[in-house]
Chains A and B, each alone.
Chain A
Amino acid sequence: MSQPASLNARYRTTVDALQGALDAGNEAAFRQAFEQLREGMSAEFMPELKRITASAQEALRRFREETRLDALAANEVPDARKRLAHVVKLTEEAAHRTLDLVERSGPIVDQAARDAADLLEAWSAYPHRDGVGGSLWPERAHAFLERAVKDTDEVRGNLSEMLLAQGYQDLTGQITRGVIALVGELETMLGHLVRLSNGDETMRSLRALPAPVNDLSRGIGPTVPGVQDGGSVNDQDDIDALLKSFGG
């Protein structure tokens, strides 16, 4: 059946009735004919509308099942917040540790500088042994050198601890890289979701999305409290005990 013939079959009678009622100024008849037309169109389009709705719902259901959306929403995004909170904690602790060590070292260096200046001042009197300051110079010099040995040891120790405190950058860097990867995955998924809603995405392409790698052999980064921390050792002693059981 050609398109015009089909249109004729579907709408001619109703359109004629509309035209007739309009020409006759019969509002009741016009409304009745219009209602017939509307019902006919609804009956024609409803199945198609239902089919499109069901298809969209099915696509969304499969999108959730096949793209880890539920896992991301339920676990990994909350985990990412915990990871970032842990990064804040680690950086804060490292900053405080470093500042504590700077504050502990400063007075030691200041005192040594004052003592050295006093000693230098007394030095000018020493060769002539004239006055108390001069005659006591060897004793003061000896005491100063003893303190210097102790103080430089302490400052050296503080510098070593400051050095170690910078290890936070490695740990927070690894954690942050994991969160960057998660954000990248979310971005890709949201892009697919937008295209899916526009109707130009297929489930086949979604299935091709790579699953994230969580491979212990490649390494998963530092343990974050409250985030998949089961099966982790507590400290170096745990590791030593574990290695010992392997003859290490």
Chain B
Amino acid sequence: MSNTMKILVVDDFSTMRRIVKNLLQELGYSDITEADDGNTALPLLKAGSFEFLITDWNMPGMPGLDLLKAVRADAKLAKLPVMMLTAEAKREQIIEAAQAGVSGYVIKPFTAQTLKEKIDKILATKVAA
């Protein structure tokens, strides 16, 4: 997969957005856009040609789960790979995200290796599909 993949990183904490952006750059991805919650992310997704979405769950405005559901409900965005990167750790929540069609789920705090592995796994699944 080309490292020109267009990625949207959604998190209400600017520090976490910087961390994820830096890690993605280390992994070779350079086309990264940021948004601070679902309400700002959704118009960007609809207007842009993003190929990968990484989103937090607990955000003011539109939380990540609602963003995931909105993406899956939109005909143009439905197949977009969506990775949850969140501190939400209840089994019930992870099941809810799985049922809503999440492509990957990484719990905070995470390692660079875990982030890389999960992105690679999602992209490999996408290619195989």
On chain A, the residues within 8 Å of B57 by CB distance are 219
Least Cβ–Cβ distance between A233 and chain B, in angstroms = 5
B90 touches A171 (CB 8 A): no
B19 touches A164 (CB 8 A): yes
- Contacts A217-B96, A232-B91 known; A164 to B111 CB distance under 8 Å? yes
CB contacts under 8 Å to B, within A54-91, are none
Name the residue in A171, A218, A219 with the highest tally of chain B Cβ atoms < 10 Å from its Cβ: A219
- Contacts A166-B19, A218-B63 known; A239 to B108 CB distance under 8 Å? no
Complex formed: what's the CA distance from A45 to B16 in Å?
67
A160 touches B98 (CB 8 A): no
Name the residue in B23, B63, B87, B105 with the highest tally of chain A Cβ atoms < 10 Å from its Cβ: B87
A223 touches B87 (CB 8 A): yes
Identify A221's interface contact among B15, B65, B87, B105, CB under 8 A. B87
On chain B, the residues within 8 Å of A239 by CB distance are 94, 105-107
On chain B, the residues within 8 Å of A163 by CB distance are 19, 22-23
B16 touches A170 (CB 8 A): yes
Identify B86's interface contact among A169, A219, A235, A242, CB under 8 A. A219
Complex formed: what's the CA distance from A168 to B108 in Å?
9
A223 touches B98 (CB 8 A): no
- Contacts A170-B13, A170-B15, A219-B64 known; A242 to B94 CB distance under 8 Å? yes
CB contacts under 8 Å to B, within A216-248, are 216-223, 231-233, 235-236, 239, 242-243, 246, 248
A164 touches B112 (CB 8 A): yes
B58 touches A221 (CB 8 A): yes
Q: Is B2 an interface residue (CB 8 A)?
A: no
Identify B108's interface contact among A170, A242, A248, CB under 8 A. A170
A243 touches B112 (CB 8 A): no
A167 touches B19 (CB 8 A): yes
Identify A160's interface contact among B16, B26, B102, CB under 8 A. B26
Q: Is A173 an interface residue (CB 8 A)?
A: yes
Q: Is B74 an interface residue (CB 8 A)?
A: no
A-B contact count (CB 8 A): 109
On chain B, the residues within 8 Å of A220 by CB distance are 58, 88, 90
A160 touches B86 (CB 8 A): no
Complex formed: what's the CA distance from A219 to B96 in Å?
12
- Contacts A220-B88, A246-B98 known; A169 to B15 CB distance under 8 Å? yes
Q: Is A26 an interface residue (CB 8 A)?
A: no
On chain A, the residues within 8 Å of B109 by CB distance are 164, 167-168, 171
On chain A, the residues within 8 Å of B111 by CB distance are 164
Complex formed: what's the CA distance from A164 to B90 in Å?
23
On chain A, the residues within 8 Å of B22 by CB distance are 160, 163
Least Cβ–Cβ distance between B19 and chain A, in angstroms = 6
B58 touches A231 (CB 8 A): no
Q: Is A174 an interface residue (CB 8 A)?
A: yes
A216 touches B90 (CB 8 A): yes
Q: Could you list which residues of chain A lie within 8 angstroms of chain B, going by C-beta atoms?
A: 160, 163-164, 166-171, 173-174, 216-223, 231-233, 235-236, 239, 242-243, 246, 248
In the assembled complex, 17 residue pairs joining A and B whose CB atoms fall closer than 8 Å, in A order, are: A163-B19, A167-B110, A169-B15, A170-B87, A170-B108, A171-B87, A217-B65, A217-B66, A219-B59, A219-B88, A220-B58, A220-B90, A235-B107, A236-B107, A242-B91, A243-B104, A248-B103
